[in-house]
Chains A and B, each alone.
Chain A
Amino acid sequence: MSARTTYLLLFLPALAMLALALYPFVQGVLTAFSDRKLYYDTSSFIGFQNFIALFADDEFHDSILRTLAFTAGVVFVQIPLGLGIALLLLRQSWIQPILRSTLVLPLLIPPVVAGLMWKTMMQPQSGIVNWLLSNVGIPPQTWLSHVDTALLSVILIDTWVFTPFAALILLAGLQSIPPELDEAARVDGAGALLVFRAIQLPWIVPFIVLVALFRVTDSLKSFELFYATTRGGPLNATRTMHIMAYEEAFRWSSVGKAMAVVFVLWLMSYFISMFLMTKWQRRSGVHHEYG
């Protein structure tokens, strides 16, 4: 294909992305350095004042810590759990297709629906979850309604929604292992544990990195589950950076400050995703080709 045709085919999509993503993005960065309010069209450049104010604010530090805690919780729960489920699904049986279609459901229903579903079930007084727990002798929990348990509860809900993502990707990884490799090990008398440690785990490392890339970046910017369940409450216990930015803009109409918050979040997400992306590209070069 000639270079001219290539440019021609790319022209409109690139123009669309420039107008719809890059232009607002640049405007957004400029806004972060201004005192822009929601209901006034005018604003003036104030340098780093938004950032200086933010980094002097304990509430902002807390929101960074919450965002990182949430992301770490998500990754460290969902990857091992997803791997367990993938191994479970690897065994051929009549029930396997049913399990697989079940697994896809939480990923394809709206996150806000998932959030509301769990919020309903986690009602401390009348919810089904506490009732189920009481049947096996576990005392009722406060779930989303208490400062100490709210963030953990959102991690639990996120786990329900996104563990299937980890499981499906890792299952695809396990299924891509050449059968000869697996059989050879088993013929040599390797048990399930050894096969896992010596063959399966090393093979799926790039897949694990890929899951981490998606789960880390999605969790850093997670918004909809929080909005549907707690909107940052109770007492700011789940006020992550993305929620904080939304509130700064639409509740306190400080768009400049809101953009400063998102910009910091974007920087964090950008460097982490670049790091994971290069790591993944290097790893995946070994046994499959990409892009």
Chain B
Amino acid sequence: MNTVKLTRNAAHALAQVLFIGFFVFPIIWIFMMSLKNFRDIISYPPKFLFSPTLQNYRETIQGAEGTLRAGELPEYVRFLLNSLIISGGAVCLAVLLGIPAAYALARGGLPWRKHIAFTFLSFRFAPELMVILPMYLIYTQIGLYDTYVGMILSHQLICLPLVIWIMMSFFQDVPIEIEEAARIDGASILLTLRAVILPISGPGIASAMIIAFIFSWNNLIFGLVLAGPNTRPVTMGILQAMTFDQIKWGLMAAAAMVSAVPGMIAATYLQRHITRGLTMGAVR
């Protein structure tokens, strides 16, 4: 191996190390912080070696000792449940509404098909407050403010365009001959969709659901505007560790780690479809 090649490989390795350092170190550092006691957290210079404790996680999940009334769920667990209900419900509704729509847009020969599709898409690019601030005014009037139904409906703005556009791209990948064969055998549109298209696009649907769930789960601004004490999602729960006079670093770190778990799981599962998911089907 000559020297030029050797230096080039060395430069390449260095770039990779820098790259991993920049993108992974912050997550590792906060994970370490979540395992530290208060003294280790505030020590300067920062401590890399310390005796780990699960105290922060315990306090996050169980609540601070003595603050809990009988039969009441700890605050953070309620936030987690709220997020689970809102994001889970939103994804289910988005799939029910989105799959027929995506199929119609992918296969139906509407003349203004593209305009409908782009109208759905344009809400992906609009500032959220343009829709959810008036929605707040409407919700407070009709009693949907701070309810699960209201939250699930509002999260359609996140989930529905994602599901429609991602599924459209997956449906277009299904060879039209397969469908025509089923139709010639006398299957109705709905039967074709259910028995032929959906099984083929199964992995695609799973990816679309996961992406929609993650974006709904990770969202803060909808909860900030439309949720009250009953439905606050987990992303708002993390902010609660920052009270007016102090930041409870350890608790914040632990809460942040727990709230990032769905995203981390998805990161390992989604590898193949991640670009399609992130660009709403534009890059396959």
Question: A-side interface residues toward B, CB under 8 Å?
Answer: 1, 3, 5-7, 9-10, 12-14, 16-17, 20-21, 23-25, 27-28, 31, 36, 41, 85, 88, 91, 95, 97, 99-114, 116-118, 120-121, 125-126, 128, 131, 160, 164-165, 168-169, 172-173, 207, 210, 213-214, 217, 220-221, 223-224, 227-228, 241-242, 245-246, 249-250, 255, 258-259, 262-263, 265-266, 269-270, 273, 277, 290-291
Contacts and interface: CB of A to CB of B under 8 A. Distances in A.
A207 B283 contact: yes
Contact of A3 (B108, B128, B267): B108
B154 to A, nearest CB: 7
A95 B16 contact: yes
B45 interface: yes
16 contacts: A6-B109, A14-B101, A24-B132, A28-B133, A97-B271, A101-B271, A104-B267, A105-B263, A108-B214, A108-B266, A111-B218, A112-B218, A120-B253, A169-B275, A210-B279, A266-B130
Interface in B202-254: 214, 217-221, 224-225, 235, 238-239, 242, 249, 252-253
Given A23-B138, A105-B263, 15 more contacts: A5-B104, A13-B101, A21-B131, A102-B20, A104-B271, A110-B218, A110-B256, A117-B26, A117-B27, A117-B29, A131-B45, A227-B221, A263-B130, A265-B130, A291-B117
A37 to B, nearest CB: 11
Given A24-B135, A27-B134, A31-B134, A109 B264 contact: yes
Contact of B16 (A31, A88, A121, A277): A88
A99 B20 contact: yes
B131 A9 contact: no
B127 interface: yes
B120 A17 contact: yes
B15 A3 contact: no
Interface in B1-56: 12, 15-16, 19-20, 22-24, 26-27, 29-30, 33, 42, 44-46
B241 to A, nearest CB: 9
Contact of A107 (B126, B130, B134, B278): B278
Given A10-B100, A109-B264, A25 B131 contact: yes
Contact of B156 (A16, A258, A266, A270): A16
Contact of B127 (A102, A108, A266, A291): A266
Specify which of B119, B131, B238, B270 lies most central, judged by the most chain A CB atoms within 10 Å of its CB. Answer: B131
Contacts of B270: 104, 108
Given A13-B160, A102-B23, A210-B279, A128 B108 contact: no
B108 A1 contact: yes
Contacts of A165: 278
Nearest to A220: B127
By Cβ-Cβ distance, the 4 closest A-B pairs, closest first, are: A6-B108, A108-B263, A28-B134, A13-B101
Given A1-B109, A168-B275, A223 B283 contact: no
Contact of A265 (B109, B127, B132, B266): B127
Contacts of A214: 278-279
Given A3-B108, A113-B260, A169-B279, A262 B127 contact: yes
A116 B252 contact: yes
B50 to A, nearest CB: 14
B12 A273 contact: no
A120 B251 CA distance: 12
Nearest to B217: A110
A160 B22 contact: yes
A131 B26 CA distance: 14
A272 to B, nearest CB: 9
Contact of B134 (A13, A25, A109): A25
Given A13-B98, A20-B154, A126-B42, A6 B256 contact: no
Interface residues of B, number: 90
Contacts of A10: 100-101, 104-105, 108, 116
A9 B101 contact: yes
B268 A101 contact: yes
Contacts of A113: 235, 238, 256, 259-260
Contact of A224 (B22, B126, B221): B221
Contacts of B182: none
Specify which of A114, A117, A213, A214 lies most central, judged by the most chain B CB atoms within 10 Å of its CB. Answer: A117
B195 interface: no
B220 to A, nearest CB: 5
A21 B134 CA distance: 10
Contacts of A111: 218, 220
B162 interface: no
A10 B110 CA distance: 11
A234 B15 CA distance: 35
B110 A3 contact: yes
B89 to A, nearest CB: 14
A227 B114 CA distance: 35
A288 to B, nearest CB: 8
A21 B123 contact: yes
Contacts of B104: 1, 5-7, 9-10
B274 A168 contact: yes
A249 B264 CA distance: 34
Given A3-B108, A227-B224, A128 B29 contact: yes
